[in-house]
């Protein structure tokens, strides 16, 4: 008999309908701290989750999406392939919201203050999901009900870790774009910016030359009288750059735009983190080539990312401090409370990309070393990152000691350099799926007529592998 703590289920409101599939919003009471009762005792918080049982049949599996660093509704609306699978396998669908994100705030707005934020750990999150599954098994199935965990990006890391840590609960996982090897692989840690450069180079090598030229021109302007003013006017900034710190912030803001474009380089128009055209890398590479000057091209590229976010157009100003916040993650933390949560996770446990260098990418030298991260995290959160412990606790690259995990990676995705890209013949239950024409966890999105051939084949493999997991004893 599975053991789990007593939890309370609340159904809030009626059934909702998204652009993909209807869901009901529910909450369970989760322990504030699953592991230490001395501090918070048996106090609980309400974790939100989404549920759909349209396809569920008695004896069917539970499919759980491991919510990442954001509002769980956003992941529901952009993970339609899971619904296709649920129909195929008569599965119950549940999307668990990550503690400290969306509406799952253990201490309300005080959640992001010390010491309350200390309960934001991967260990606590996985325990939340394990508790949720135990409850759903008692309601919809039994101890033997099969469970497949899904996730994209950080959610994919969680889906893999969920199988690592709770193999008694999780039958298998589909981890789409999980950069787990960054934990202990220096090459993986340094691969992010060179891969974005390769993405643009594969569209048109001349676009890389233009981008490099633009950054060189910015560097020149930053060193001459009135140069900061010229740069500020070119990028339509609300407040002029006046010093080196402001100029560096602009460079990070520009680099972050390329991060977004490369990660969501999808073959269809999307509105995941923001509205983007189909194949945005192609679109912006073409912008660079057609611009009057390289710097004008760079500005036009940034408007693709920041204009929808800020409701501005090219005749309006852009507020750098509001549109991009420097943080522990060189690829960007986003904005608002979600950014605070991600920043803390990055400092406390996660290993992510490092800085960029002009000799390995089209980007300027913007280093972010281990020492830089340590200094930042001590100053911001009063904690010291322990990268070696993260790799030790969560396996790092040594995933083949586990079983029944699909690691899928799109080769356009700048995170794929941190993924598991090669199979081990000694452990065929760890499945590797590579998708040449795909960017960040494209394989979890709803099936579309725009899907490239490699994605269609990837879906066929993933269905076959999940069937294999469900058939395993």
Q: Is 153 a catalytic residue?
A: yes
Query: Residue 265 and residue 439: Cα distance in Å, rounded?
Result: 6
Catalytic residue selected from 33, 184, 199, 413: 413
Catalytic residue selected from 440, 441, 443, 459: 440
Q: Is 219 a catalytic residue?
A: no
Q: Is 388 a catalytic residue?
A: no
Query: Residue 381 and residue 370: Cα distance in Å, rounded?
Result: 16
Catalytic residue selected from 104, 153, 207, 402: 153
Instruction: Catalogue the active-site residues.
Output: 153, 413, 440
């Amino acid at each position: 008999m599975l053991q789990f703590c007593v939890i309370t289920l609340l159904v809030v409101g009626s059934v909702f309908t998204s652009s993909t599939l209807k869901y009901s919003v529910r909450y369970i009471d989760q322990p504030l701290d699953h592991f230490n009762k001395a501090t918070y005792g048996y106090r609980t918080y309400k974790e939100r989750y989404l549920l759909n049982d349209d396809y569920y049949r008695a004896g069917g599996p539970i499919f759980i999406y491991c919510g990442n660093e954001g509002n769980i509704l956003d992941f529901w609306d952009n993970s339609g392939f899971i619904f296709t699978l649920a129909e195929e396998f008569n599965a119950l669908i549940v999307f668990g919201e990550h503690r400290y994100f969306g509406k799952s705030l253990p201490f309300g707005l005080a959640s992001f203050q010390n010491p309350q934020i200390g309960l934001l750990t991967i260990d606590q999150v996985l325990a939340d999901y394990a508790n949720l599954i135990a409850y759903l098994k008692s309601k919809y199935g039994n101890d033997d009900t099969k469970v497949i965990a899904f996730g994209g990006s950080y959610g994919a890391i969680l889906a893999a870790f969920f199988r690592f840590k709770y193999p008694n609960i999780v039958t298998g996982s589909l981890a789409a774009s999980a950069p787990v090897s960054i934990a202990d692989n220096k090459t993986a840690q340094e691969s992010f910016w060179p891969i974005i450069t390769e993405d643009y180079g594969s569209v048109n090598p001349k676009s890389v030359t233009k981008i490099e030229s633009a950054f060189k021109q910015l560097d020149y302007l930053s060193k001459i009288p009135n140069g900061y003013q010229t740069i500020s006017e070119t990028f339509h900034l609300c407040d002029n750059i006046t010093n080196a710190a402001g100029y560096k912030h602009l460079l990070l803001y520009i680099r972050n735009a390329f991060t977004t474009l490369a990660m969501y380089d999808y073959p269809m128009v999307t509105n995941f983190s923001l509205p983007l055209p189909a194949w945005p890398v192609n679109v912006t590479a073409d912008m660079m080539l057609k611009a009057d000057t390289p710097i004008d091209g760079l500005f036009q590229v940034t408007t693709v990312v920041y204009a929808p976010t800020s409701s501005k157009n090219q005749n309006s100003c852009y507020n750098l401090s509001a549109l991009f916040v420097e943080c522990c993650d060189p690829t960007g933390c986003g904005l608002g409370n979600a950014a605070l949560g991600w920043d803390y996770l990055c400092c406390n446990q996660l290993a992510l990309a490092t800085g960029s260098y002009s000799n390995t990418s089209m980007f300027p030298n913007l280093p972010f070393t281990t020492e830089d991260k340590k200094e930042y995290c001590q100053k911001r959160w009063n904690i010291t990152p322990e990268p070696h412990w993260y790799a030790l606790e969560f396996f790092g690259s040594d995933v083949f000691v586990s079983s029944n995990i699909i690691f899928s990676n799109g080769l356009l995705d700048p995170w794929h350099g941190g993924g598991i890209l090669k199979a081990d013949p000694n452990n065929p239950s760890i499945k590797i799926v590579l998708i040449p024409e795909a960017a960040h966890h494209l394989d979890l999105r709803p099936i579309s007529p725009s899907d490239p051939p490699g994605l269609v084949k990837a879906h066929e493999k993933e269905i076959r592998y999940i069937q294999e997991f469900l058939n395993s004893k």
